[in-house]
Structure 1
Amino acid sequence: MKNDQIKNIIFDLGDVILNIDVPIASRSFADLSGREQSEILTIFKESEIFRHFETGLMDEPSFRNYVREILDFPDLSDEAIDTAWNSLLLDLPPERVELLKKLAAKYRIFLLSNTSSIHITQVNKILKASTGVERLEDLFETVFLSYEMGLMKPDPRIYQQVLEQAGLKAEETLFLDDNADNIRSAAGLGIETIHVQKPVTILEYLKDYAV
């Protein structure tokens, strides 16, 4: 049901705008290194490599070098690492971009994503191939990315920073995310939330806002 107080809409990226399949990345690294997927998942979890990369504690060369180190695979190429890491990024349905354009005529719209620079480069390629739109910044008033902010959802500080930087009131702001922890954290600040759960998409969740 539409909340008539809403003036601003903040979107997550993965599985909200862009379809993703996170386990594909660990399978890709398993195939590259000749290890079991379960072992890859354990290595990545213990090293916290993706949290470090997605909060900006590592740049791209440091990330790639650390992948080589923890997989004990010094000859792994930059391209192979990037391809494996990006393999979880699937398609971006054009109708979702059309929805964003409609909403932008009535609301201030923003993106807030836990992500890395390698992913964003690839997402922009997918976006252009699918819709002709050059980059995410062309669709949103501001694109807030975890690796640039030094914070990750569900840390409440990341939502507070978005509200303050954009000059938004929590009660006038709607946030859509596929992660329940992220939704709870935003709701705790008084932000209106929608927990996006497949197979339902933003086309259905936001149909009343787009008319």
Structure 2
Amino acid sequence: MIKNLLFDFGDVFINLDKKAPELALSKLGIRVITEEMNNWHNSYEKGLLTTQQITENYLESFPQLTAFSFKNAWNSIILDFPEHRLNWILKLAKQKDYRLFLLSNTNEMHIEQVIKNMGAIRYSRFQNCFERFYLSHQILMRKPDLEIYDFVLQNDNLKASETLFIDDTLLNVAGAASMGIKTWHLEPGRDDVTQLFSLKKELF
């Protein structure tokens, strides 16, 4: 029996354009994302690099960039948060049938952009739906590393078999499933989180 719902954020609630940053950087003359750059990104998501540090890394490596152009390219991934999804999670939180949690790989610049796009009050209404709001850069861990799922289970005293994890990334879903957590690999453009109880009714 599912008692706990653990949601991803991007492409589950908020829409993303995952190709946009790479496209924006290519227009600025950066056409290859190297392993070193991916390491910066992962470290930034884990809170091991500050916004200033990752910006300086880019500006030192690519002199054609400015802090402004880099930030715009970096944040181009963030799109809109549809109202029907916000209304759905607000209603679900009000019903109090499940314990609700959010677990997102994200970073300081992206969260700042999300708040700017949504507005602080709307963002706060969303955040307050959840018993715990886990952001990777704040807890110094990221999906799909198994330690992050173990941390959530232990920190909130959750049973894996009673917990459903919803994420749009297959690797993240596989990581959670290996811990015994029930999962839904939501496919953006085909699935919508608001269809949870109809598409995954066999879990409830």
| Counterpart-to-counterpart distance in 2, 1:36 and 1:70 | 10
Assess if the C-alpha contact under 8 Å between 1:53 and 1:59 holds in 2: yes
Work out which of the residue numbers 164, 178, 186 in structure 1 matches 2:168.
Answer: 178
Q: Superposition pairs for residues 88-103 of structure 1, below 5 Å? A: 88-103=77-92
Q: Is the aligned partner of 1:60 residue 2:56?
A: no
Q: Which residue number in structure 1 is paired with residue 13 of structure 2?
A: 17
Moved more, 81-90 or 154-163: 81-90
Q: Given the two structures, how large is their TM-score scaled by the length of structure 2?
A: 0.88
| Conserved? CA contact 1:116–1:147, under 8 Å | yes
Partner of 1:149: 139
Q: Is the 8 A contact 1:124 1:136 kept in 2?
A: no
Query: Which stretches in structure 2 are left out of the alignment for 5+ residues?
Result: none
Unaligned runs of 5+ in 1: none
Q: State yes or no: 1:86 paired with 2:75.
A: yes
SS in structure 1 at match of 2:53: helix
1:134 counterpart SS class: helix
Normalised TM-score (structure 1) = 0.85
Q: State the Cα distance separating 1:132 from its structure 2 match.
A: 3.1
* Structure 1 CA distance for aligned equivalents of residues 45 and 70 of structure 2: 16
Residues 27-66 of structure 1: pairs in structure 2 closer than 5 A: 27-31=23-27, 33=28, 35=29, 37=31, 39=32, 41=33, 43=34, 45-47=35-37, 48-66=39-57
Aligned-residue RMSD, C-alpha: 2.0
Change (3 A) 1:122 1:136: farther
The within-5 A match list for 1:182-197 is 182-197=172-187
Q: Single out whichever of 134-143 and 180-189 deviates more from structure 2.
A: 134-143
Separation (CA, whole Å) in 2 of partners of 1:121 and 1:136? 15
| Deviant stretches of 4+, over 6 Å | none
Q: Distance in 1 between the 2:191 and 2:105 partners?
A: 21
Q: How does 1:162-173 map to 2 (within 5 A)?
A: 162-173=152-163
Distance in 2 (alpha carbons) for counterparts of 1:112 and 1:25: 22
Identity %: 35
1:109 pairs with 2:105:
no
Q: Distance in 1 between matches of 2:19 and 2:156?
A: 34
